[in-house]
Amino acid sequence: MAAIRTILVVGGGTAGWLAAGFLAKTLGTQGGGVAITLVESKEIGIIGVGEGTFPSIRGTLSVLGIDEGRFIRECNATFKQGVRFNHWVRPPGARGADHYFHPFSQPSQRPGGPELLPYWLLGAAGDGVPFAAAATMQKHVADMGHAPKRTGDADFHGPLNYAYHFDATAFARLLASHAQTLGVRRIEATVDQVKLGAGGAIASVVTREAGELTADLFIDCTGFAARLIGGALGSPFRNINDTLFVDRALAMQVPYDRPDAPIPSYTISTAHEAGWTWDIGLHERRGIGYVYSSRHTNDDRADQLLRQYIGPASDGREPRLLKLNVGYRETQWVKNCVAIGLSGGFLEPLESSGIGLIEAATYLVSYLFPHDGNLAPAAKLFNAQMKARYERIVDFVKLHYCLTQRTDSSFWTDNADPSSIPESLREQLAMWRTRAPHRLDFVTDIEMYPPSSWQYVLYGMEFPTRMLAHPSTLPDATAARREFQTIAQLSHHALADLPTHRALVEHYRRQG
């Protein structure tokens, strides 16, 4: 076993540059560190979508050493406090709530105070107050157009939890320039062939422009092409289209109506007859896309629906059609090759799992790094953890669909059909019919989404939990009621303290 001295990252999208930069920072590239090279193809280019993130991105940017202001300016970025789901429970025009919110802030809990969810289920927040509105002030702040932090707050910190929306191409560019300052060497070339050595590990990749490149460890970041992990090593792809149906996207970028238009600090996800639209506000434009199931509609109808959603701003613009491989490889680390990004898998972008999974895979490679060259145990652990992560994300995304009350199209009735729901999710839903979900239902280090995210979606989708716990086990109703009142009062005060979202973004942009 020889120590790992060289890493070749193949592919320069978000996955490639994020992995290269993070590994350079955490493993070191100078005297005694690891030599990291990234090869990317000018001809093939990057996918260039992926504009919504999860709060974990702040930790990643901070470790990389990219300051928040630079990131906001160079990536046309804005703040994201959560996701607003329109018409997921019932179609437009039906009686009942027309949307719910998944905020990133956890439900309030004072030291020694009660956990709020069981009391909310018992009605302590009052009738008709959604859990997300009762348990944190974030929904109110976001609804009123305010930001999650103040101009004087430190980088990556604020009173409310947040992530970002950004321009994916600009983000890859920023990561690339930063990774090179951390010592990553860049080669522009297209890989034509992957050579295997004795024992089936990768010996080298053969490029058109830069000859043959060798390394001790290869990281496959070639996107959906998966040239190394799929093409050369044949790691099977598990398609999950029988659970998550959407497999196409039509994406378009449109300007704001006026330059000072308010910018929503949340992704707007609106359910439609055969899928849903994302609507993301960046500083200078909106990114909008319709993600749909080709089994339940066709591309022409999807184009029509996207244009209806956008209105006149779509006139004269052509959307980009993307065909999606929905699923993942159960084995993402084979011999001396690790897949990170779309080469490892892709789940639909409903809760921005793509970049979160890139971050998770990168942390695993970095912190479990087999310095002594003993790859097999690290690979085993990596594969088990990534597979478990994907399985949990599939369950979480399916949760958004399977509780719908919509019966207005086969897309929705098929989604609620129990045969399309993974057994693991069905088992959890069965338990939560008579008790509140608890953090012990979740294995923290495997989950991308914290228990509160599950709770916000579960009760946003109006899941019926009939609490069977004996009343004596929930003795804190008075304290819980008081806490709900405090949150409501603080929500109003917070507006005086927090700038509007556009004002905060403009503040960072002026600093450049």
Catalytically active residues, by annotation: 80
Q: Which of 436, 434, 486 is nearest to 458 (CA)?
A: 436
Query: Does 342 interact with ligand FAD (rule: CB under 6 A)?
Result: yes
Pairing of β 82-86 and β 99-103 = antiparallel
Query: Does 270 interact with ligand FAD (rule: CB under 6 A)?
Result: no
Q: Which of residues 158-197 bind ligand FAD (CB under 6 A)?
A: 168, 190-191
Task: Determine which residue in the list 5, 33, 45, 257 makes contact with ligand FAD, applying CB under 6 A.
Answer: 45
Sign of CA dihedral 114, 116, 117, 118: positive
Query: Does 275 interact with ligand FAD (rule: CB under 6 A)?
Result: no
Nearest distance from C-beta of residue 169 to ligand FAD, angstroms: 9
DSSP classification of residue 504:
H
**Residue 355, annotated ligand binder?**
yes
Query: Does 39 interact with ligand FAD (rule: CB under 6 A)?
Result: yes
Q: Both ends of the chain: CA-CA distance in Å?
A: 49
Place of tokens 């993974």: 422
Query: Does 206 interact with ligand FAD (rule: CB under 6 A)?
Result: no
- Is 233 in contact with 334 (CB distance < 8 Å)? yes
**Residue 15, annotated ligand binder?**
yes
Q: Which amino acid is at 259?
A: P
Distance CA 360, CA 389 (A): 9
Structure tokens at 349: 């972008």
Nearest distance from C-beta of residue 276 to ligand FAD, angstroms: 12
Query: Does 13 interact with ligand FAD (rule: CB under 6 A)?
Result: yes
Distance CA 445, CA 455 (A): 18
Q: Which of residues 234-253 bind ligand FAD (CB under 6 A)?
A: 249, 251
Query: Does 14 interact with ligand FAD (rule: CB under 6 A)?
Result: yes
- Is 392 in contact with 386 (CB distance < 8 Å)? no
Nearest distance from C-beta of residue 18 to ligand FAD, angstroms: 8
Task: Give the nearer residue to ligand FAD in terms of CB position, either 142 or 421.
Answer: 142
Query: Does 215 interact with ligand FAD (rule: CB under 6 A)?
Result: no
Query: Does 230 interact with ligand FAD (rule: CB under 6 A)?
Result: no
Nearest distance from C-beta of residue 397 to ligand FAD, angstroms: 12
- Is 101 in contact with 266 (CB distance < 8 Å)? yes
Angle at 473 between CA 471 and CA 478, to 5 degrees: 70
Distance CA 439, CA 196 (A): 45
Tell me how far CA of residue 154 lies from CA of 59, 286, 500, in angstroms. 13, 27, 18
Task: Give the nearer residue to ligand FAD in terms of CB position, either 221 or 487.
Answer: 221
Task: Determine which residue in the list 47, 182, 268, 378 makes contact with ligand FAD, applying CB under 6 A.
Answer: 47
Query: Does 273 interact with ligand FAD (rule: CB under 6 A)?
Result: no
Listed ranges 40-48, 234-242, 468-476, 485-493: which one lies at the site for ligand FAD (CB under 6 A): 40-48
Query: Does 385 interact with ligand FAD (rule: CB under 6 A)?
Result: no
Distance CA 30, CA 400 (A): 46
Q: Which of residues 349-368 bind ligand FAD (CB under 6 A)?
A: 349, 352, 354-355, 358
Instruction: Please give the size of the binding site for ligand FAD, defined by CB under 6 A.
Output: 39
Listed ranges 11-19, 67-75, 131-139, 210-218: which one lies at the site for ligand FAD (CB under 6 A): 11-19
Structure tokens at 119: 């009391």
**Residue 444, annotated ligand binder?**
no
For 369-400, what is the HEC assignment?
A: CCCCCCHHHHHHHHHHHHHHHHHHHHHHHHHH
Query: Which residues are part of a known binding site for L-tryptophan?
Result: 351
Binding residues for ligand FAD, per CB under 6 A? 10-16, 39-41, 44-47, 49-53, 168, 190-191, 221-223, 225, 227, 249, 251, 289, 322, 324, 341-342, 349, 352, 354-355, 358
